[in-house]
Chains A and B, each alone.
Chain A
Amino acid sequence: MNRRHTLFAVLAVVALMPAGIACADQYGSDSAPIHISWQMQPTQSPKSSVPTVKDYYQSHIEAWVKAHPDVMLDVTFNSTDINASMTRMQEQAATGRAPDVAMLDSFFLSRFYQFVQPLDRFYGPDQVDDFVAFARNGMRGPDGKLKALWVNTDVRVLYYRKDLVANPPKTWDELIAQAAELSKRGLTGYLYPGGRGEGAVMEHLPMFWAQGGELVDAAGKPVFGEGRNRAAMLNLLGFLKRTIDTGASPNRVVNYRFEADLYPEILQGKVAMFLGGNWMAKQLRELGDKSDWGVAPIPLMTQGDPVTAAGGWTYAVFTPDAKKQAIIVDLINSLVADPAAMAASTAALSNLPTRMSVAQGDSAYVKDPTVHGFLTLLRYARARPGAAIYPSISTELQVAMSEVITGQQSPEAALDQAWHKLAQ
Chain B
Amino acid sequence: MTAGQRRPIEDRPFVWLAPLFLLLAVLYLYPLIDVTRLSLTDATDAATPAHYTFASYRSLLGSSEFLAMTRVALIFVAASIAGQLVFGLLIAALVCAGERRRLPGAALVRAIVLVGWVLPGVVIGIIWKLLLDESGAGIIAYAASLLGGRNPTFLSAPGPALFWVTMANIWRGTAFSMIMQYAGMKTVPPELYEAATVDGAGALQKFRHVTLPSLRGILLINLVLITIATLNTFDMVLPLTGGGPGRATEVVALYIYHLVFSEFQFGRGAAVAVVLMAIGLALSACYARMLRRERAA
A→B interface (CB under 8 Å)? 83-84, 87, 91, 94-95, 195-196, 250-255, 264-265, 268, 270, 392, 395, 399, 402-403, 405-409, 417
Contact = CB atoms under 8 A, between A and B. Distances in A.
B261 A84 contact: yes
B262 A254 contact: no
B184 interface: no
Interface in B211-250: 242, 244-248
B242 A196 contact: yes
Contact of A251 (B46, B156, B244): B156
A395 B46 contact: no
A399 B246 contact: yes
B47 interface: yes
Nearest first, the 5 A-B pairs at minimum CB distance are A403-B246, A252-B134, A252-B156, A254-B156, A265-B135
Interface in B131-146: 133-137
Nearest to B153: A251
B246 A402 contact: yes
A392 B64 CA distance: 18
B245 A254 contact: yes
Contacts of A195: 244-245
A406 B245 contact: yes
B262 A252 contact: no
Contacts of B261: 84, 87
Nearest to A257: B242
B156 A255 contact: yes
B241 to A, nearest CB: 9
B5 interface: no
22 contacts: A84-B262, A87-B261, A91-B46, A94-B45, A95-B46, A195-B244, A251-B156, A251-B157, A252-B135, A254-B244, A254-B245, A264-B135, A264-B137, A268-B137, A399-B247, A402-B245, A403-B245, A405-B245, A406-B245, A406-B248, A408-B246, A408-B248
B187 interface: no
Given A196-B242, A255-B156, A406-B158, 12 more contacts: A91-B46, A253-B156, A254-B244, A268-B135, A392-B263, A399-B246, A406-B156, A407-B157, A408-B158, A408-B245, A409-B246, A417-B64
Interface of B: 45-47, 64, 133-137, 151, 153, 155-158, 242, 244-248, 261-263
Nearest to A250: B151
Centre residue among B64, B151, B156, B262 by max chain A CB count within 10 A? B156
B126 to A, nearest CB: 13
Contacts of A251: 151, 153, 156-157
A393 to B, nearest CB: 13
Contacts of A392: 263
A328 B10 CA distance: 61
A265 B222 CA distance: 42
A252 B158 contact: no
Nearest to B63: A421
Contacts of A395: 262
Nearest to B152: A252
A253 B135 CA distance: 10
